[in-house]
């Protein structure tokens, strides 16, 4: 096997099987033509001339790669990339949300001890990361298949038939979402009215031996926090009303929003961690003559504070991260002032 044979075989190793023999034959024919040329100018062609010629022709892998320029050299091409971004974002958001729910449940089970917390968060991080990587792999695989099939080609055809009139307005991240603020105001107000004026509504009602009895859900201990709850609720209503009037988010209002979220979370956790805030205890139920299922019911009700804490911590974390991200985007997004 001559040096030229070895070279051609090496190029062939990196060529698609379909055209390999044909391309190899053409490279051989060209190399021999080039070698003939050198023989004529130099009189003879020894190994050194062949080496020089092959070096000039280029490294085998590089030569082979030039024959593949018209084929797919990427897993996900430009036409599929926007879909890849969209699908990845949706799948990642769903996975993270699900894993956060799992983390919350885990934290409830471990009872918020330092060791349990660290272990749950560690496990959550590892499993979430592994889940995200697996999901990413599947997304790439599916889109790579689509890219190489008729579906992909049809998609390209469809993407060319677009109508500019179908374009949506670019969403403005600084614009407030009024229903969100109206919803917060209404529910905070309702909460304030019930807690201050109709606390008796917050009770579990039973019919026992033909008599209607009730057990208040919240105790005197809970209502000791009422002034704090009122202050916090009024701040929340005031802030959301202010945002409805302003219509746009500004760095200062985003910072205020983060502070209110954190303060609300601290107050909620403090209340929920206080023992004796719930009135539905085994004793209370027994005193009312309810014995059947009383134990299970009181256990169920008394696990609520822990669940609430977990939800509050997770929701606050998400809200703070989202608001902080937008706060930093405010600073870097626009190179010139935009008149709203």
Residue 54 vs 290, nearer CB to other proteins: 54
Question: How near is the Cβ of 139 to other proteins at its closest, in Å?
Answer: 31
Question: How near is the Cβ of 55 to other proteins at its closest, in Å?
Answer: 12
Question: How near is the Cβ of 81 to other proteins at its closest, in Å?
Answer: 22
Distances (CA, A) of 177 to 145, 146, 170, 327: 39, 37, 15, 16
Question: How near is the Cβ of 51 to other proteins at its closest, in Å?
Answer: 17
Residue 65 vs 219, nearer CB to other proteins: 65
Beta bridge partners of 212: 207
Question: How near is the Cβ of 126 to other proteins at its closest, in Å?
Answer: 43
Residue 26 vs 156, nearer CB to other proteins: 26
Q: Angle at the Cα of 301 (from 299 to 303), degrees rounded to 5?
A: 70
Answer left, alpha or beta for residue 112, where phi above 0 means left and psi between -120 and 50 means alpha: left
Q: Angle at the Cα of 299 (from 297 to 300), degrees rounded to 5?
A: 65
Residue 29 vs 270, nearer CB to other proteins: 29
Question: How near is the Cβ of 53 to other proteins at its closest, in Å?
Answer: 11
Question: How near is the Cβ of 18 to other proteins at its closest, in Å?
Answer: 11
| Torsion angle, alpha carbons of 184, 190, 195, 201, to 10 | -130
Binding residues for other proteins, rule: CB under 8 A, are 19, 23, 25-27, 29-30, 32-34, 57-58, 62-63, 66-67, 69-70
Residue in this structure with the two tokens 């969209």, named with its chain if needed: 86
Residue 22 vs 220, nearer CB to other proteins: 22
Nearest to 202 by CA among 190, 187, 218: 218
Residue 5 vs 177, nearer CB to other proteins: 5
The pair of three-digit structure tokens given for residue 112, joined into one six-digit string: 């918020």
Residue 34 vs 256, nearer CB to other proteins: 34
Question: How near is the Cβ of 76 to other proteins at its closest, in Å?
Answer: 23
Residue 25 vs 98, nearer CB to other proteins: 25
CB count in 10 Å sphere of residue 267? 16
Q: Which residues, other chains included, contact 310 with Cβ-Cβ below 8 Å and sequence gap of 6+?
A: 104, 105, 107, 108
Question: How near is the Cβ of 145 to other proteins at its closest, in Å?
Answer: 23
**Would you give the DSSP letter of residue 248?**
B
Residue 25 vs 86, nearer CB to other proteins: 25
Q: Are 241 and 229 in contact (CB under 8 A)?
A: no
Q: How far apart are CA 246 and CA 248, in angstroms?
A: 6
The rounded radius of gyration (Å) of the Cα atoms in the chain is 35
Q: Which residues, other chains included, contact 90 with Cβ-Cβ below 8 Å and sequence gap of 6+?
A: none
Residue in this structure with the two tokens 């030039």, named with its chain if needed: 66
The pair of three-digit structure tokens given for residue 312, joined into one six-digit string: 């509050």
């Amino acid at each position: 096997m001559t040096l030229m044979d070895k070279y051609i075989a090496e190029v062939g190793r990196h060529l698609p099987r379909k055209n390999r023999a044909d391309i190899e034959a053409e490279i051989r024919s060209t190399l021999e033509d080039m070698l003939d040329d050198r023989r004529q100018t130099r009189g003879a062609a020894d190994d050194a001339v062949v080496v020089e010629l092959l070096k000039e022709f280029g490294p085998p892998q590089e030569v082979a790669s030039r024959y593949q320029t018209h084929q797919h050299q990427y897993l996900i091409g430009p036409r599929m990339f926007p879909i890849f971004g969209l699908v990845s974002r949706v799948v990642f958001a769903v996975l993270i949300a699900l894993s956060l729910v799992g983390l919350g449940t885990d934290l409830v089970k471990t009872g918020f001890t330092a060791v349990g917390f660290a272990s749950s968060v560690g496990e959550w991080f590892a499993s979430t990361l592994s889940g995200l990587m697996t999901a990413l792999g599947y997304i790439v695989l599916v889109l790579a298949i689509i890219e190489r099939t008729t579906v992909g080609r049809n998609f390209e055809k469809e993407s060319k038939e677009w109508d500019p009139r179908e374009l949506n307005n670019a969403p403005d991240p600084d614009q407030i979402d009024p229903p969100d603020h109206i919803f917060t105001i209404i529910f905070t107000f309702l909460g304030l009215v019930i807690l201050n004026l109709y606390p008796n509504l917050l009770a579990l009602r039973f019919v026992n031996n033909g008599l209607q009895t009730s057990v208040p859900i919240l105790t005197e201990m809970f209502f000791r926090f009422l002034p704090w709850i009122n202050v916090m609720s009024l701040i929340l209503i005031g802030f959301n009303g202010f945002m409805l009037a302003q219509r746009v988010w500004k760095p200062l209002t985003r910072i205020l929003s983060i502070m209110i979220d954190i303060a609300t979370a601290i107050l909620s956790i403090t209340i929920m961690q206080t023992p004796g805030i719930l009135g539905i205890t085994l004793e209370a139920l027994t005193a009312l003559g309810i014995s059947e299922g009383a134990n299970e019911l009181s256990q169920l009700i008394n696990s609520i504070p822990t669940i609430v804490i977990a939800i509050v911590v997770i929701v606050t974390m998400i809200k703070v991260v989202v608001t902080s991200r937008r706060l930093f985007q405010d600073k870097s997004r626009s190179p010139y002032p935009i008149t709203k």
